Structure 1
Amino acid sequence: MDLTRDAALALDAADPLAGFRGRFAGTDDDSADRVLYLDGNSLGRMPLETPAALRRVVEQEWASGLVGSWSSWIGEATRLGDQLASGVLGAAPGEVLVGDSTTVNLYKLLVAGAEARPGRDVLVCTADDFPTDRYVVAGVARARGMTVRELPAHIDEGPDPAGIAAVLDDRVAVVVLSHVAYRSGALADLAGITRQVHDVGALVLWDLSHSVGSVPVGLAAADADLAVGCGYKYLNGGPGAPAFLYVRRDLQEQLRSPIQGWFGQRDQFAMGPEYDPSPGIERFGAGTPPVLGMAALEVGARLVAEAGIDRLAAKGRAMGELVVALADAWLARHGVALASPRDAGRRGSHVTMTHPQAWQLTQALIDRGVVPDFRTPDRVRLGPAPLYTRFVDVWDAMDRFRRLLEGGGHEAYPAQRARVT
């Protein structure tokens, strides 16, 4: 691979997605000291169309339409869910619902899945999965008198088929796994693992938070059971954007949400005395949907669908390859090592590096205009987003990383624990 800056510029010139960059805020600065944002896997940039979409809802539908606008808002959760299903998730209409947070949706589907497998008393998750996933699994297991069985998974490589087979038996009700590992970016074999879980009669609940909008998911092709994901990373829906949930159509009548809210009721406005769940994906609704949040999320989801998930994944892999190659050439001599799968086909769109002073390096990079993030115990996570990050941005960020290490500027920063987001 040619590792010159001119080669990175040439990749940008040939990039079929180059036109999308100008549709996001903060991308018009080409100065040498510009901020290089490599945290799109934590919070995506704001699309330029988002303010207008929010103004439309606020100034027209809310300010003028008032309560009459509910006639159009009432179906937004399923309408936007169908857009995500067809444009991003590889699912069918009527299988995706938008609303609530990832944590709440995970809880709803995990409890519903456990109840649909009576007589089974084990939930499975990995010790290295995202905290909210592990916390929800532990809480549901405690409340239901179940056991949590931890799937052994390498912190950098993720789970393997042999490890998965070792924890599966006829006691397992639901397996909870991330499609892309939040720490390392390791990409799980969604279709293969789903088949393994089905072979023992269990359900698998996928967390798509770090994969949706960056790699193909293919829920229908994989015969996936259940899934959840957030809207503020690669979907660029903004901070606190609503999440989504997926339930395969033939499972919907078998599952019952533990949160029996009025937006999951069959005849919602009859205000009946007893809960009777809706016959479709709407049964997993709870309270009033976040109308403003969905308006912002729709803009980001539409951009992802327009770009095409296969093209986004191809660029994401190529940018990851550039990060790895530059790290090998420039950073390894300073004690930086790859903490993600080396095979690009086994990674999502973020790449993680390990170094004993990862926290200090992260803070020093931010002060030098490079925005990555830190992950415990000693990881610097780099998340270029293929919709708006250029190859030359990656090159320049790694060049600043190299110069930081060569100058030892990070040594002046104290060690500190970081929050996890």
Structure 2
Amino acid sequence: MSDRISDIRRLFPILDQRVNGRPLVYLDHAATAQKPTPVVEAVRRYYEWDNANVHRSGHTLGQRATDAYETVRAQVARFVGAGSERDIVFTRGVTSAINLVATGYARAKLGAGDDIVVSAMEHHGNLLPWQQAAKATGATLSYIPLQPDGTFTLEDAEETITSRTKLVAVSHVSNVLGVANPVRELAAIARRVGAVVFVDGAQAVSHMPVDVRELDCDFYAFSGHKMYGPTGIGVLYGRREQLERIEPVEYGGQMIDRVGLRDSTWREAPWTFEAGTPNVAGAVGLGAAIDFLERIGRDAVAEHDRKLTRYATERLKEIDGLTIYGPEVDRWGLVTFNLARIHPHDVSSVLDVYGVAIRAGHHCCSPLMDHFGTSATARASFGLYNTEEDVDRLVEALLHTKRVFGE
């Protein structure tokens, strides 16, 4: 794989620039991935040749746009191992997918005495919608307790998930720790009490193969922009019988079957959840991103990302006063850390002067920051375009940061 990275990097022209007079090192993949030329060209080609509304017009452009949109739906289904393209709902991203289930399912089906179980490591996007669903329905919100390293055990999960539990929501890969949660085992625990399982896959799909039926989850969501695709397009996979239990939360064109003056009926899933004009160009770009990943090979992608993250972890350990958060296990595409006595925002600012782009803050994971007793951390995250030389530049910039602050 290492001999292919230089060819892969050439597909990302945004990396061929200087920031503050230095070559750009982009280490913020977990926030959003850069886009390869095939994705950019696919979106441009759609707008130049096929742009039309879908499922409406009988003319040639309308048919081509509809075919492109629905072809990507089938492509996504194969990509995540879904049983049918009708298990795939296009959304704006993971956040809108979670809100769809939290509103159309949890608020409609849950009530007082029911329980929603999440973990305290969750991104705010996989926490706030369930908080609001619990408040709206009178259900309770329970948390799987965390270990000192920020992870949870299956034993603690089994104690938290009870006969009152109706829904379990968990991230596949933590956007702070980079660790993969035991989703399949968690689903087995939830299944024994009849609970529905929602998985936030935002940080997983660009790094590892995903098979939703092997994971045995009811819902799985991911965003295009974190897997080399465009912004504004995401996916909700839903097990057929669970999708049919969701109430629509947006109403208008595209999702209707018949409209009368007093009452109306809806199309079947997935189209009942796609009211209005969809992001057709985004879907086309998502399809191109899937093609990009599959041409490289998803096992090769996983090997590269894990190997590079291991290298980064070992290099960062060489820096005195640097704390790495999370357990001593393989991480998927990111390392979160702090430098003693230097605020992570200051670290990020000095690194930016060095041409190195990282993320600093609470990473939309305030409860996990509270667990670690800190308000913020720094995070370096990696994609296919990153190399060991990028990591070396990061370490060099961090050592410079220490000198700037007299550490």
User: Shorter-chain TM-score category?
Assistant: 0.7 to 0.9
Aligned counterpart, 2:232: 241
Aligned counterpart, 1:364: 350
Which among 209, 220, 229 is matched to residue 222 of structure 2? 229
Deviation for aligned residue 1:63: 8.4
Counterpart contact for 1:81–1:244, Cα < 8 Å: no
CA distance in 1, matches of 2:112, 2:128: 23
Number of residue pairs aligned between Structure 1 and Structure 2? 386
Cα deviation code 1:151-193 (max 9, x no counterpart): 2234753222122112111211111111111222121111111
Aligned counterpart, 1:417: none
- Three-state SS of the structure 1 residue aligned to 2:13 is coil
Which among 42, 49, 62 is matched to residue 51 of structure 2? 62
Aligned counterpart, 2:284: 295
TM-score normalised to structure 2 length: 0.85
Which among 231, 242, 245 is matched to residue 251 of structure 1? 242
CA distance in 1, matches of 2:12, 2:162: 48
- State how 1:45-60 maps to structure 2 within 5 Å: 45-60=34-49
Identity of aligned residues (%): 20
When residues 401 and 224 of structure 1 are mapped into structure 2, their CA distance, relative to the original with a 3 A threshold, is same
Does 2:122 align with 1:133? no
Aligned counterpart, 1:160: 153
Aligned counterpart, 2:7: 19
Deviation for aligned residue 1:64: 12
Cα deviation code 1:224-267 (max 9, x no counterpart): 1112121111x1223x33111000234333443333454333x3
Which amino acid is the alignment partner of residue 166 of structure 2? A
When residues 57 and 271 of structure 1 are mapped into structure 2, their CA distance, relative to the original with a 3 A threshold, is farther
Which among 212, 216, 229 is matched to residue 205 of structure 2? 212
CA distance in 2, matches of 1:63, 1:251: 32
CA distance in 2, matches of 1:35, 1:52: 23
CA distance in 2, matches of 1:23, 1:147: 48
Counterpart contact for 1:33–1:369, Cα < 8 Å: yes
Counterpart contact for 2:149–2:326, Cα < 8 Å: yes
Aligned counterpart, 2:392: 395
Counterpart contact for 2:110–2:137, Cα < 8 Å: no
TM-score normalised to structure 1 length: 0.82
**Root-mean-square deviation over aligned CA pairs:** 2.9
- Three-state SS of the structure 2 residue aligned to 1:276 is strand
- State how 1:275-314 maps to structure 2 within 5 Å: 275-314=264-303
- State how 1:398-409 maps to structure 2 within 5 Å: 398-405=395-402, 407=403, 409=404
CA distance in 2, matches of 1:101, 1:64: 20
Aligned counterpart, 2:314: 325
Greater alpha carbon shift after TM alignment, 312-321 vs 126-135: 126-135
Greater alpha carbon shift after TM alignment, 89-98 vs 365-374: 89-98
Q: Which has the higher strand share?
A: 2
CA distance in 1, matches of 2:316, 2:196: 39
When residues 127 and 261 of structure 1 are mapped into structure 2, their CA distance, relative to the original with a 3 A threshold, is farther
Deviation for aligned residue 1:116: 5.1
Greater alpha carbon shift after TM alignment, 395-404 vs 137-146: 395-404
When residues 275 and 103 of structure 1 are mapped into structure 2, their CA distance, relative to the original with a 3 A threshold, is farther
CA distance in 2, matches of 1:120, 1:311: 47
Aligned counterpart, 1:124: 117
Aligned counterpart, 2:369: none
Deviation for aligned residue 1:372: 0.9
Counterpart contact for 2:115–2:167, Cα < 8 Å: yes
Does 2:175 align with 1:186? no
- Three-state SS of the structure 2 residue aligned to 1:232 is helix
Aligned counterpart, 2:372: none
Counterpart contact for 1:227–1:246, Cα < 8 Å: yes
Deviation for aligned residue 1:80: 1.9
Cα deviation code 1:295-327 (max 9, x no counterpart): 333322221222222211111110111011111
Aligned counterpart, 2:338: 354
Does 2:128 align with 1:142? no
* Long gaps (5+) in structure 1: 1-10, 413-421
Counterpart contact for 1:117–1:202, Cα < 8 Å: no
- Three-state SS of the structure 1 residue aligned to 2:207 is coil
Which amino acid is the alignment partner of residue 232 of structure 2? A
CA distance in 2, matches of 1:101, 1:260: 19
Deviation for aligned residue 1:381: 0.7
